[in-house]
């Protein structure tokens, strides 16, 4: 009889494409992956892996069994969902991920609510960029992810995933307090064509969005500084080193030397939760989604209030 954990290891190898990738995804050592695969090969009596340069590749038999493994594991997920749904209680563990401002703006309230309502449910959270988070949900490394896209640049979501909208986030332009446009009630992005810009790191989804959006306004932005954290970006702005687009969700404290001005043509970040459709009946997933929706309502109310105070200060 085929061992389920060994099939899970084979599935991880097929999805990640390497022993090290499978080990990272399964949170085990590369040695453990190799041992599991050796045992699986003995069980089926066929070679499942072959050397490929410094790495390995699946043989024809390996790919065939990996296809079956993916279907078996999906069926196991459905069985677990049904059993959990039959019990009707959110128990066990749920693994969630989110991009940084959502983790900061939503997770504290959502996790507190979950802990109070479902004390037997353990929650593990991680910060991840949207595209990677979706991949990890598809692979089964995450149960649920909070991701985003923009009104003018959507993030493709693969089939087999369920999703629910949480909130829309309206970002502002952050600029030094002595900037010529700092006293304005609204601005257009093209008015900053001659400014230096502070941006998210190259390769991130929001960096790609920023470049696409600014170029669509008819100018090539001068990216002078890149920073992952919005608080770092705002510190650079306060020092007079450029301007940036900054979201309201998870914004927190704004330095005194920074002014936030809304954009006349409102830009919106669409923030939503995604999870595997075959896990849709799990009470733990439903509980986590509901907690995130409640946290999103609170965050949206807080963002509106903060926006009003920012605008009056500007």
Cα separation, 56 vs 70, whole angstroms: 19
Q: Is residue 146 pLDDT above 70, yes or no?
A: yes
Q: Is residue 139 pLDDT above 80, yes or no?
A: no
**Mean pLDDT computed over 282-295:** 93
pLDDT at 61 (0 to 100): 93
Cα separation, 290 vs 218, whole angstroms: 42
Cα separation, 92 vs 284, whole angstroms: 8
Give the chain's mean pLDDT: 88
pLDDT at 226 (0 to 100): 97
At 151-167, the pLDDT tens digits run: 888 877 777 889 999 99
Task: Give the pLDDT band of residue 309 (cuts 50, 70, 90).
Answer: very low
pLDDT at 282 (0 to 100): 85
At 166-176, the pLDDT tens digits run: 999 999 999 99
Cα separation, 196 vs 118, whole angstroms: 48
Q: Is residue 307 pLDDT above 60, yes or no?
A: no
Q: What percent of the chain has pLDDT over 90?
A: 53
Closest CA to 282 of 70, 80, 72: 80
Cβ contact 240:127 at 8 Å: no
Task: Give the pLDDT band of residue 81 (cuts 50, 70, 90).
Answer: low
Cα separation, 257 vs 104, whole angstroms: 23
pLDDT at 3 (0 to 100): 86
Six-digit token string for 11: 């599935």
Q: Is residue 310 pLDDT above 60, yes or no?
A: no
pLDDT at 136 (0 to 100): 85
Task: Give the pLDDT band of residue 245 (cuts 50, 70, 90).
Answer: very high
**Mean pLDDT computed over 31-54:** 89
Cα separation, 170 vs 227, whole angstroms: 20
Cα separation, 199 vs 163, whole angstroms: 28
Task: Give the pLDDT band of residue 225 (cuts 50, 70, 90).
Answer: very high
Q: Is residue 72 pLDDT above 50, yes or no?
A: yes
pLDDT at 229 (0 to 100): 87
pLDDT at 313 (0 to 100): 38
Q: Which residue has the higher pLDDT, 22 or 304?
A: 22
Cα separation, 112 vs 43, whole angstroms: 46
**Mean pLDDT computed over 236-258:** 94
pLDDT at 125 (0 to 100): 95
Cβ contact 204:211 at 8 Å: no
Q: Is residue 266 pLDDT above 50, yes or no?
A: yes
pLDDT at 311 (0 to 100): 41
Six-digit token string for 153: 């640049």
Note if the pTM is more than 0.85.
no
Closest CA to 95 of 133, 147, 149, 129: 133
For the chain, give the number of residues. 314
Task: Looking at mean pLDDT, say which of 32-41, 75-84, 188-197, 273-282 comes out highest.
Answer: 188-197
Cα separation, 287 vs 121, whole angstroms: 10
pLDDT at 87 (0 to 100): 65
Q: Is residue 314 pLDDT above 60, yes or no?
A: no
Closest CA to 85 of 293, 287, 289: 287
């Amino acid at each position: 009889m085929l061992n389920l954990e060994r099939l899970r290891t084979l599935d991880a190898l097929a999805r990640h494409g390497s022993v090290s990738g499978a080990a990272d995804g399964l949170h085990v050592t590369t040695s453990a992956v190799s041992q599991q695969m050796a045992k699986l090969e003995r069980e089926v009596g066929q070679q499942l892996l072959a050397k490929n340069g410094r790495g390995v590749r699946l043989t024809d038999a390996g790919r065939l069994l990996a296809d079956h493994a993916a279907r078996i594991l999906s069926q196991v997920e459905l069985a677990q969902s049904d059993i959990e749904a039959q019990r009707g209680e959110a128990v066990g563990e749920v693994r969630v991920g989110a991009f940084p401002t959502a983790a900061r703006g939503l997770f504290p309230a959502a996790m507190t609510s979950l802990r109070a309502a479902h004390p037997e449910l353990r929650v593990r959270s991680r910060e991840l960029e949207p595209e990677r988070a979706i991949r990890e949900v598809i692979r089964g490394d995450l149960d649920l992810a909070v991701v985003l896209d923009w009104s003018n640049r959507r993030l493709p979501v693969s089939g087999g995933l369920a999703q629910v909208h949480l909130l829309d986030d309206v970002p502002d332009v952050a600029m030094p307090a002595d900037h010529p446009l700092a006293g304005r009630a609204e601005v257009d992005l093209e008015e900053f064509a001659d400014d230096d810009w502070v941006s998210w790191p190259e390769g991130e989804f929001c960096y790609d969005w920023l470049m696409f959006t600014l170029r669509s306004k008819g100018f090539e932005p001068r990216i002078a500084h890149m920073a992952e954290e919005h608080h770092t970006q705002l510190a650079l702005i306060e020092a007079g080193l450029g301007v940036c687009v900054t979201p309201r969700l998870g914004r927190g404290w704004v330095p005194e030397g920074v002014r936030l001005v809304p954009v006349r043509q409102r830009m919106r970040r669409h923030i939503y939760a995604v999870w595997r459709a075959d896990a849709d009946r799990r009470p733990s997933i439903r509980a986590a989604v509901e907690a995130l929706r409640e946290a999103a309502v609170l965050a949206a109310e807080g963002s509106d209030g903060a926006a009003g105070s920012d605008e009056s200060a500007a």
